[in-house]
Chains A and B, each alone.
Chain A
C-alpha cells in the first residue's frame, strides 16, 4: 500500500511557523488574522484528524470535524499553557506549532477525504451569478457599516458628568474635581467647593463644550480630624443647583 501523502502536514507546520513569526515580530492585525484564524479554527484540527486517522466522506464533513477538533485542541492548549504560565500570544503560537509538528512526526494514517462527494460538486458559475454574490457581500458589508454608524449616532440621553475624587494615598492634600459635557450644546457653569460646610473655592463661568472635560486638582488642608468636602455645580442661566458631589478628606496620620 502506498504511503499516505503528508504534504498537507508539512504545509500546516510551515503555516504554524509563519504564525509564530508573525505573532513575534508583527503588530499587523490583518497579517496575524490571516495567519492566526485558520490556524486556531481549522488547520490545528485538520492535523489532529490526520494524526488520529479519522475517515471523512465529504469535504463538508472534513471541515466540520476539523473545526471541532481545532476547538478541542485549543481548549486542551489553554490548560497546558495555564499549567506552564504561558497563556500569552507567543505561548499560543508555539502551542499550534507543537501540535502541527507532533502530527507531522506521528505515523500517517491516511487522508480519507473522498473527492466524489466534494462540497459543491462541479459547480458552474456564470458571470452574472458571481457578480450577484459580490454585490450581496457588498450590500451586507455596507449594511453592517450603517448599523455601526447608527449606533455611534444614537445618544438618547444628554448629560453632564460631575465628579470629586478623594485624596489619593500618595497625594494626601489633593482633591480632584472634574466636569465632562455630553450635552447637545455648550453650557456655562459655576462651581463651588466647601469644606465641612464652609466655602473653600469657587470657579466662575466655566464654559464646557460637548465632549470637553474640565479637571482641577484642589489642594486642601489636612487637619487632625476628617473633613467632608462638597462640590456644587450651578447653572447660572437658571440659577439652579445642577449637580452635587462630595468626598472625605482624611485626617492627618498620627506620628
Chain B
C-alpha cells in the first residue's frame, strides 16, 4: 500500500506534535503513584513540632487582634504572620509525598481545629457573626421555653429546622454550661468530624490517603470553610451530617448483604437528621444521591449487582423523600425563603453577561478588602483553576475501565458510559460549578449564591485538584520543584480560603453597619440594660446590628417589620414622620424603637443599615432622621446614652 499524500502528512506532523504538547498537561494520562508507600508509624517529631508552631501562630493571631483593638499599626503584621505560620508549614507537611496516613489525618485535624480557634478568638466570649445571633435567639428560646418550633421573627424558617438548637441545648442541659460554651464545644467537634468525614469520603473513592489529604486541603480553600461553616448556624451542622452521609455511602459501595443494609440504616438515620437540620444541604444531598443513582442506572457495566443498584436507589429515594416530607409536615416556605435570592442573583449575573438590566443595588459596589488579601484570594483562584485544568480529565480517567489507559481512550470509554465508580464521575462534573460560583461572587446580588455554591462545589474541586497534583504535578517520583511547588500551591490555596472568608478578619474599631465589626461592648450593654430594666420579650425594632444584640443579649422580641409589608427602614428614614408611617406605627404592636446615632457618622460598610433590600441603599442616614421621634406626640424617650436612644411607642397605641 502506498501513501497518497506524503507531503501533507509531513506538513501536519508538527501541528499534531504541538497540539499533543498543549494537550499533554490537561490530558488523562495518570503518571503519579497515588498508592501510599509510606508505612506507619507516623513521624511523632513532625507532629509535635507542628503542634508547637501552630500554638505560637495562634498566639500571634491573638496578639494581632489585641493590637487591632488598640489601633496599633503592627496589628496586620502580627495577625498575618500568625495566619501564615499556622497554615503554611502544616499544609506543606500534609501534602508532602511520603507521609503516613495517620500523620496526614492528625495534621488535618490540627489544622482544622487551629482554623476554628482562629475564627473563635475574634470574639472569644460571645457570638459575633450575623447568623450566629439568629440561632442563638432560637436556642435561648428553646432553653427557656422547653418547647420546639417557637417563632423567630429574625429568621422565620429556623423554627422548622431546629436540629442545631436541639443539640446545643442538649449539651447545655446535660453539662450546665452556658449556651455560648456549649455551642463552641459543639462546633469544635463538628469541625473535626467534618474533616474526618471528608478524608474518609475521598479515601473511599480514590483509594489513596495522599489524594484524600490533598483533597481535604484543597477543600479548605473554599471561601465558606474558615468562617461560614464554623459559625453557630444550621449549615455548620447540616454540612457535617451531609459529609457523613456521603462518607458512609461511599464506604459501603463494596459491601453486600447484611452489612450493606446496616450501612443503609445509618445513612437513613443521618438523612432523617439532615432533613430537619438545614434545607439547602438536605437539597444538595438529595440531588447528589439522586444523580448518583441515575449515573449508576446509566452506567454500562454488567458487573454491577442488582443489590447495589437497589441500595443506591433506596438511598436516593430516602434522600429526596425525607426533606420533602419534612417541608410538607412543618409547613415551612422553603421556596419563598430561597427563591428571591436565587432569582435576583441569576438576573444580575445574566444582566452582566448579556448587558441587559441589572438591579439598582448592583451599582453600589461590594465592600473592599486590603489589597494583600485580594491578591492572595486571586492567586488561590488561579491555582485552583490550574489544578482543575490538569485534573479534570485525569480524575475521569481514574474511574475509566482499566483496559483503557492509553491516550484519550479513558475519556472515550467514559463517554460510552463505561466507568467504574459513578461517584468520581459525579464529583468531577460537580467541579465544573467552580467557575460559575466565582462568577456569582463577582456580583453584589449573586454573591450569596456563589458563596453557598462553593460549599458543595468544592467537594468536587477537592478531588479533581488532588488528582491533578498527584498524577501531573507531583508525578511518579516527586523530586526537586515537583516536591515543593505543589505543596506550596496548596498552602496558598488554604490561605486563599482564609483571606476570602471575611472582609476584615482583624478585630478593629467599631464600623457602621459592618456586622461583626459593629458589635462592641456599648451595644451589648445597652441590650443587657433592656433585659434588666424593661424585662425580656418587649417588641422592638432597630437597625440590623442592634436587632441582633437586642434578640441575643436583650432577649427581646425583635421585629424586622413594623407591620405586615412595612419594613423597619421606612420608619427610620425621612426627617419627619409622614402620615402613612405614623399610621403604620400606631397600628403596629411595637413597644420600642431603638436608634443608633453612630449610624449617621459613616456610610454603611455592607451597603445598608436595616435590610439588604431597603429602598435607599447607600444613602447616609442623618441625625435629623433618627431624632424625629423626639417631637412625635405619644412617643417618649425611655433611654439615652448619647449614642443609643430607646423610644417608647406604646403611647401611640394608648398605653404608657
Contact = CB atoms under 8 A, between A and B. Distances in A.
Contact of A248 (B41, B186, B636): B636
A141 B99 CA distance: 29
Which one of A49, A132, A250 has the highest number of Cβ atoms from chain B below 10 Å of its Cβ?
A: A132
Contacts, number: 302
B266 A64 contact: no
B268 to A, nearest CB: 10
B259 interface: yes
A89 interface: yes
Contacts of B65: 147, 150
Name the interface size band of chain A.
35 or more
A139 B175 contact: no
Contacts of B176: 27-29, 32-33, 89
A214 interface: no
B642 A165 contact: no
Interface stretch (B121-129, B334-342, B545-553): B121-129
A69 B266 contact: yes
Interface stretch (A50-58, A100-108, A200-208): A50-58
Given A64-B247, A122-B40, A146 B52 contact: no
B51 A125 contact: no
Contact of B189 (A48, A67, A89): A67
A75 B277 contact: yes
B639 A146 contact: no
Nearest to A176: B533
Interface stretch (A2-10, A37-45, A185-193): A37-45
B503 interface: no
A23 B173 CA distance: 8
B613 interface: no
B656 A250 contact: yes
B641 interface: yes
B121 A75 contact: no
B203 to A, nearest CB: 9
A157 B520 contact: yes
Interface string B158-199: 000011001101110111110000000110010001001101
Nearest to B123: A151
Q: Helix, strand, loop or mixed for chain B's interface?
A: helix
Q: Helix, strand, loop or mixed for chain A's interface?
A: helix
B52 to A, nearest CB: 5
Given A119-B105, A167-B656, A161 B639 contact: yes
A161 B526 CA distance: 8
A133 B53 CA distance: 10
A41 B193 CA distance: 11
A14 interface: no
Given A32-B176, A78-B148, A135-B55, A68 B240 contact: yes
A182 B642 CA distance: 12
Contacts of A60: 105, 196, 199-200
Given A68-B244, A159-B641, A228-B636, 15 more contacts: A41-B171, A41-B189, A55-B262, A64-B197, A73-B269, A75-B277, A78-B169, A91-B173, A119-B102, A120-B102, A121-B102, A146-B59, A148-B125, A161-B526, A245-B639
Interface string B634-656: 10111111110010100100001
Nearest to A131: B48
A89 B146 CA distance: 10
B429 interface: no
B514 interface: no
Nearest to A138: B55
Nearest to B247: A64
A192 B641 CA distance: 17
A71 B167 contact: yes
Contacts of B105: 60, 119
B177 to A, nearest CB: 6
A87 B266 contact: no
B45 A161 contact: no
Contact of A136 (B54, B162, B525): B54
Nearest to A243: B640
A144 B636 contact: no
B257 to A, nearest CB: 11
Given A29-B176, A55-B262, A121-B100, A154 B62 contact: no
B510 interface: yes
A164 B639 CA distance: 7
A116 to B, nearest CB: 10
Contacts of A167: 656
A139 B58 contact: yes
Interface in B506-563: 509-510, 520-522, 525-526, 529, 533-534
Contacts of A33: 175-177
A137 interface: yes
B521 A162 contact: no
Contact of B174 (A48, A93, A126, A166): A93
Nearest to B634: A248
A139 B59 contact: yes
B269 A247 contact: no
Contacts of B525: 161, 182
13 contacts: A33-B176, A63-B196, A64-B196, A78-B148, A123-B42, A125-B48, A133-B51, A143-B61, A155-B521, A156-B521, A161-B529, A182-B522, A243-B641
A178 B530 CA distance: 13
Interface in B209-234: none
Contacts of B74: none
A119 B105 CA distance: 9
B251 interface: yes
B5 interface: no
Contacts of A122: 40-41
A21 interface: no
B405 to A, nearest CB: 28
Nearest to A19: B174
Interface in B608-655: 634, 636-643, 646, 648, 651
Contacts of A161: 525-526, 529, 639-641
Nearest to A85: B146
Nearest to B642: A159
Contact of A165 (B106, B272, B638, B643): B638
B478 interface: no
B170 A147 contact: no
B521 to A, nearest CB: 6
A132 B244 contact: no
Contacts of A139: 52, 55-56, 58-59
Given A33-B175, A151-B125, A167-B656, A92 B641 contact: no
B59 A148 contact: no
Contacts of A57: 251
A71 B240 CA distance: 10
A248 to B, nearest CB: 5
A162 B106 CA distance: 54
A224 interface: no
A65 B173 CA distance: 24
A128 B45 CA distance: 9
